[in-house]
Structure 1
Amino acid sequence: MALTLSNSTVPLSPLSTLNENHKLHSCVHIKDLVTRSQESVWICGASSVNRKGTDVISYGDGGENGGGNSGEDVLEELKTFWDDGYGTQTIKDCAVAAMDLITTSDKGPPRWFCPVTCGKPFKDSPLLLYLPGIDGTGTGLGVHIKSLGKVFRVQCLHIPVWDRTPLEGLIEIVEEMMMIEHTLSPNKPIYLLGDSFGGALALAIAARNSTTDLILILANPATSYEKTMIHPLMSVIKSLPEEHYGIFPYAISPFFGNYIKMAMVRSTGRNHMQTLSELPANIRNDLPSLTSLARIVPKDTLAWRLKLVESAAAYANSRLHAITAQVLVIASGNDYMLPSKYEAQRLSRLLKHCEVRLFEENGHTILLESDVNVLSVIKATHMYRRFSKHDILKDFISLSITEFKTSAVDTWWYRLAMGAALFSTMEDGKIVRGLAGIPDEGPVLIVGNHMLMAFDSFPLVMEFHREKKYVLHSLTHPELFNINAEHEDVMIPVTDIMKLGGAIPVSGRNFFRLLAKKSHVLLYPGGVREALHRKGEIGKLFWPEKQEFVRMAVKYGATIIPYGGVGEDDILELIVDYNDIKKIPFLNLMWTAYNQGRKNLREGMGGEIAQQHFHMPYFLPKRPGRVYYLFGKPIITKGKEHMSNDKDYLQELYSQIKCDVKNNMAYLLKKREEDPYRDIVDRFVWLMINGTLDQIPSFET
């Protein structure tokens, strides 16, 4: 091996200079995909290491754009509403970058590069290796590169057009990079993000490296190659005259992906009218890029790449049993190139640790289409971690601006239907609209009542994000983080929203850690029994007789804020409750079986609080009224930490909190009668006149 600096060559023994203070980060930096310059591929402050014919560029500690973790400007964490750059780059930018790569720097063997737009990741970010699809350019991650670059040290594999490295050689190139990273950071996971062919390649690599801590993210993996429409076309491609090959990309372009969703990427997070008005122009701008396959992948190269796909699929399929890595499959429901939906289901059955997220409306080029945010999917499945074990608090990443704008519980129609009106109480007892009465400095413990199905927590958490710009961690029943396969279609969209918003499984340890971090915590003492209450129990509290959370809150000097919420009776009407379910044999049998082995957090307490049976009550929606929240006067426990073992004081404080919650609910039930915008029609008229859903008027306090 040799270390190449400019035009000189200096012998270097393998890994002799690699240590904890000198990490291999980016390989080649590519210019910003949006602002092009004539110099499209360049190396900044880097040394080129040639190992077994593979170009690797390693950055020193002080590289300006090196993407390393050293330096004073490395972030400890990402703040709420951080800019993920989603929508700033599209398929057109990816195609332009690909053409620049193959025209200016496409000689030699496969190599790794890191786009400049990745920027610097935050502290202790793991390595992510992007394995491209059949195009081999490595630019297919452009839509997601800015967001992934914030939390990963991204490396993209580029396979030059005329390179003929066999499958074994490509596997060795990736394994070599993995070996270097594992030597430098043995306690960190290594991510392989494989797109189509890259997905099959990633599985093949994982099968050979069962002892390495790998996490695989597979986008429409090509392990189903034998069932695809392309497989029978190999002979056609070989016999196609060179002068007619230019027609081939146009012929198959309708099968590549959903062009409308590709064009909608840059409109993500905007209102629907604006998106529709911009769509024709976006499609016109992107169309030339959609047919660039003939220039990026010539005929001979395409035939070679298809052989690689076939080999990778066969290799991976024969060794699926050997894969021990965590696997996340991101699959399209409308993939006309591969049967990706059914392949994802097959892989989930055969692999030991496999999660699937299905996007029904997307096509084969899922990474270039709207409505798919790779980082969001990784976060929602709890597959993002920086060390050997996932830490639900340390590895939590707050909502980006795109995640907030595209959340299902922040759509205009959901906000209009809920009409959430929040009030808080200042320290002098004055009730004000909004959250001004909630302290910004933690720890803060917010304690309240549950409405039916706990639907009230969604607008509450989102309003905290919107107004206070910080995360409100909701302590949630652990069973909601362990969904059975038969309930995935219903529950996963809900639980994914909860996880992205900061929901944490309720436990004494997690509660302790949140308070120690001075977080804002949302707690519902009534738990499942209160959220799945029966008919005639609206607003009834099912709290334990003895205090559970107060001692911990006092021990950490937390500010406790009792809150009351009402409005369930304006939104839903309960038709079949748990008592009714027990009288219906097939429903009773189904839910009894479901609850077998489920964790009951109140087991042994006796009384109604212990009746925490999971079930799905049946209800009818009403013409929406409005939900209201009142946060009571803050209860300051700072300076009283010494009283955390005083049982009389703790019980008195617990009773005060419970009483305040009831009083807050009673206040709201009375005052909502004075609200001129309690009905959805009145709120809709306000929206049409004022053009905003923020701070729709309510009753006078």
Structure 2
Amino acid sequence: MVSILKTFRVSPCFALNSEYKPRFRVRVQSLGNEDSVVLSANSVRVNGVSSVGEKERIGSLNDVGNGGLGLSVGEKKKGDDAVPEKLEVLWDDGYGTQTVKDYLDSAKEMIRPDGGPPRWFCPVECGCPLKDSPLLLFLPGMDGLGLGLILHHKALGKVFEVWCMHIPVYDRTPFEELVTFVEMTVRLEHASSPNKPIYLVGDSFGGCLALAVAARNPLIDLVVILTNPATSFGRSQLQPLLPPLEALPDGLHITIPYLLSFVMGDPMKMAMVDIKHTLPPTAILDQLSRNLTALLPRLSGLADIIPKDTLLWKLKLLKSAAAYANSRLHAITAEVLVLASGKDNMLPSVDEAQRLSNSLRNCIVRFFKDNGHTILLEDGVNLLTVIKGTCKYRRSRRRDFIKDFLPPSISEFKQAQANNRWFHFGTSSVMLSTLEDGKIVRGLAGVPKDGPVLLVGYHMLLGIELAPLVEEFLREKNVLVHGVAHPELFTGKTGTQSNEFSIIDLIKVFGAVPVTGSNLFKLFSTKSHILLYPGGAREALHRKGEKYKLFWPDQPEFVRMAARFGATIVPFGVIGEDDILELVLDYDDLMRIPGVHDYIRNSNQEGIRLRTEMSGEVANQDFYLPGLLPKIPGRFYYLFGKPIQTKGRENMLKDRQNANELYLQIKSEVERNMAYLVEKREEDPYRGIIERTVYRATSAPMHQVPTFEP
């Protein structure tokens, strides 16, 4: 009887030191029966060498067939293996350091025939995840290599234990046995950590596998992420290819990989992954040309990854996998996130995403209109960013918006800057702050860096002041500002009609949390910088003639909680909406249009209502989209007032009257800041976009364009 490695559980930090044993065990199972044995770290030998030795190593286990284990190693000194508990703001997620070229180069090593069965491996690049990170199982597409996440290994490895499934090129395991193989791993992990979710990331064929496992295990807490799932294979453009492929002479099969590479993915998107979008156009074109030149010769390797017999087998396997998964959709209770490409030439992924959204109980969709079938290997899709933006990351049964929050990475920050570059170009925000002595200075020097800090201010039309504010705090002070937002933004109902990854998702990536008492309490407890708009939706969706008017409630909702934690309160004013937008149709105008009136009423009745116990305008927080016309851009101006200390005033501010007096002082300060800015902007010689453009072309970057003297 030949024993093989059927499943194993190994931390990406395997063999860092001998005290890290609880996270490592190997399950060896016989092909002939269901008997299995779990081996401890001490008992496992890798190619004849003990896994724990004098020289410690970090690496990933690979089954190399016939019961052997191979170890990809990189030396690491003892004492460097402490498990991190949190990520720093603007951490390095490594996105863009690996490309499809690395995928094709690594594939050469992975496709060597070894006669072994399907197996799991942990990529070396993933490193050591945060404490209590959940398990992520990657289920590959048609290639079966398990390298489909290679662009995302470093980022995902920070917050997940990443295991990738490898199906050898000449393996012919039927679909149901593959389902059993994954299911066994899921059940073993669930038994050891019943309170943590398990993530199944299924790419194309792997999507069918993930759905099948989810359908058979409705009581296990699973988060299923599908990228262009092959459940639509029955309607695929590949169906007519089966008869010609079977008749194709072996000598011509070498041409198939080149054809498939253009069907399965977008070579331009693949070549753009490691190119900085902030480079000049000529530099981008030059690097793109070099990347394409290096990429195209490697495509011949696809003939070895998917030889003719394997391709025919995989196509038949896809057919059975799609039928199996589709027949069990009704049994799936797991959270499901579908990523669908608009330029998928292999599968009708957009239509399929809509069908799955309607068929599954708990499913959301994000479309990427410019990407091809191999979306995870293409530019513009950072998988961890999508997971964060759709609020799918959690470490327990229920998501905690504070404890489970992952700060933005440096690549996410740079991507946000690139996405907003024209907005920043048009508004050229001026940030002013007030020092302790009352002096107003350019920049954010007057805002304390150590929290807890509560920023309280005016909400401009549609919240258009948010992006420059959050980005400037990150750029100048390396501080993340958590905006407390309307809970409706977190229900999934406020996305764009196209269901693309939108600004609503991005604000969650950059720290937005639902406005609740418990979330505020946790943010103060963790000494965070908090952004609060007492005027809420009513202020951000104000009517004609109401610009720079505060709609704050009568009650001092936030003062006493801030005082309880000794927080510093910084009132701020912001102006500039009237310099870039003209409000043409407001709420009152739209409510006079019969069809629109009914739509607004019905959509708001189904949503979450805040301040229902209050009366007056502050309670009128209906969501709607106003009619706007753009203007020739002026400029945004922010003024952060003198910090107000509550530390040492906790007992005094417990008194309602004292708290109310401070509340009115803060409100008055915000109004005074805006009045100051409205007056002083008239002295700004660079208020107009033409003057700023000329200055930038000859003198300075965007954030250094001069303004009035404070």
TM-score higher than 0.5? yes
- Offset of residue 682 of structure 1: 2.0
Q: Flag the 1:242–1:489 CA change in 2: closer, same or farther, 3 A.
A: closer
Whether 1:65 and 2:51 are equivalent positions in the alignment is no
> Per the alignment, do residues 680 and 522 of structure 1 end up closer, same or farther by CA in structure 2, a change over 3 Å counting?
same
> Pairwise mapping of residues 557-596 of structure 1 onto structure 2 (< 5 A)?
557-596=566-605
Alignment partners' CA distance in 2, 1:56 and 1:485: 48
Tell me, in whole angstroms, the C-alpha distance in 2 between the residues paired with 1:292 and 1:598: 52
- Cross-structure match for 1:664: 673
Residues 690, 310 of structure 1: alpha-carbon distance in 2 compared, 3 angstrom cutoff: farther
Deviation at residue 73 of structure 1 after TM alignment? 2.2
> What do the CA deviations read for 1:289-322 (whole angstroms, capped 9, x no partner)?
3342211111111111112111111100000000
CA distance in 2, matches of 1:368, 1:56: 35
Q: Does 1:233 align with 2:236?
A: no
SS at structure 1 position matched to 2:531: strand
Structure 2: distance between partners of 1:296 and 1:409: 36
- What residue number does 1:37 align with? none
CA contact (8 A) 2:330 2:360 kept: yes
* Per-residue deviation, residues 185-227 of structure 1 (Å, max 9, x unmatched): 1111111111111111111111111111111111100001111
Quote the sequence identity (%).
53
In 1, the alpha carbon distance for the partners of 2:683 and 2:605 equals: 47
Contact 2:571–2:643 (8 Å) recurs in 1 = yes
Structure 2 equivalent of residue 168 of structure 1: 176
Could you tell me whether the CA contact under 8 Å between 2:196 and 2:395 is conserved in 1? yes
Alignment deviations for residues 141-194 of structure 1 (CA, whole Å, 9 cap, x no partner): 111111111111111111111111111221122112212211221111111111
- Residue identity matched to 2:543: R
Against the structure 1 CA distance between its residues 58 and 426, is the aligned structure 2 distance closer, same or farther, given a 3 Å change threshold?
farther
Q: Which residue of 190, 199, 220 maps to 1:191?
A: 199
Contact 1:106 1:161 in 2 (8 A): no
The answer for the alignment partner of 1:24 in structure 2 is 10
Write the letter of the residue equivalent to 2:210.
Answer: A
Distance 2:103 2:428 in 1: 41
Contact 2:365 2:499 in 1 (8 A): no
Q: Does structure 1 retain, via aligned residues, the 8 Å contact 2:584–2:627?
A: yes
- The one-letter code sitting in structure 1 at the alignment partner of 2:583 is L
Picking from 206, 210, 215, the partner of 2:218 is 210
Structure 2: give runs of 5+ residues left out of the alignment.
Answer: 16-22, 43-50, 62-78
Is 1:95 paired with 2:104?
A: yes
Q: Tell whether the 8 Å contact from 1:419 to 1:627 is kept in structure 2 after alignment.
A: yes
Alignment correspondent of 1:475: 484
Pairs within 5 Å for 1:617-628: 617-628=626-637
Q: Which residue of 5, 26, 29 maps to 1:51?
A: 29
- Residues 416 and 683, structure 1, Cα contact 8 Å, conserved in 2: no
> Per the alignment, do residues 27 and 373 of structure 1 end up closer, same or farther by CA in structure 2, a change over 3 Å counting?
same
| Deviations 1:40-59, CA, capped at 9 Å, x for gaps | xxxxx987643245999986
Instruction: Determine if contact 2:10/2:26 at 8 Å carries over to the other structure.
Output: no
Alignment partner, residue 135 of structure 2 = 127
Q: For 1:623, what is the secondary structure of its paired residue?
A: coil
Q: d(CA) in 1 for partners of 2:294 and 2:453?
A: 50
Give 1:34's aligned residue. Answer: none
Residue 135 of structure 2 is aligned to residue 157 of structure 1: no
Gaps (5+ residues) in structure 1? 6-13, 30-44
Cα deviations across residues 212-256 of structure 1 (Å, max 9, x unaligned)? 111111110000111112122222222222222112222333212
1:25 is aligned with what amino acid? S
Between the aligned partners of 2:40 and 2:506, the Cα distance in structure 1 is 38
Q: Please give the residue correspondences for 1:434-583 in structure 2 after superposition, counting only pairs within 5 Å.
A: 434-484=443-493, 487-489=496-498, 493-583=502-592
Q: Quick check: 325-334 or 279-288, which moved more?
A: 279-288
Does residue 143 of structure 1 match 2:151? yes
Correspondence 1:250 to 2:236: no
Q: 1:428 to 1:306 in 2, by over 3 A?
A: same
Distance in 1, matches of 2:300 and 2:616, equals: 68
- The offset of 1:486, in angstroms, is 8.3
Are 2:398 and 1:389 aligned?
yes
For residues 603 and 593 of structure 2, what CA distance do their matches in structure 1 show?
A: 15
In structure 2, the partner of 1:10 is none
Distance apart, 1:586 and its partner CA: 2.2
1:411 aligns with 420
Q: 1:443 to 1:609 in 2, by over 3 A?
A: same
Moved over 4 A (4+): 1-5, 26-29, 45-49, 53-64
Is the 1:92–1:286 Cα contact (8 Å) retained in structure 2? yes
Aligned AA (1:393): I
C-alpha contact (below 8 Å) 1:133/1:197 kept by paired residues: yes
Cα deviation code 1:502-557 (max 9, x no counterpart): 11111112111111111110001111111111111111111112211111111111
Q: In the TM superposition, what whole-angstrom CA distance separates every residue of 1:87-135 from its partner, at most 9, and x where no partner exists?
A: 11111110110111113x6431111111111111111111111111111
Closer/same/farther in 2, CA of residues 57 and 541 from structure 1, 3 Å limit = farther
Normalised by the size of structure 1, how large is the TM-score?
A: 0.91
The more displaced of 469-478 and 601-610 is 601-610
Give the direction of change, closer, same or farther, for the CA distance of 1:86–1:492 in structure 2 (3 Å limit).
closer
**Residue 95 of structure 2: which of 63, 86, 93 is its match?**
86
Q: How does 1:598-609 map to 2 (within 5 A)?
A: 598-609=607-618
Aligned pair in 2 of structure 1 residues 128, 628: CA closer, same or farther (>3 Å)?
Answer: same
1:238 maps to amino acid: E
Distance 2:565 2:653 in 1: 9
When normalised by structure 2's length, the TM-score is: 0.90
Q: 2:641 aligns with which of 623, 632, 641?
A: 632
Which deviates more, 483-492 or 86-95?
A: 483-492
C-alpha spacing 1:385/1:47, structure 2 compared with 1 (3 Å): closer
SS in 1 for 2:702: coil
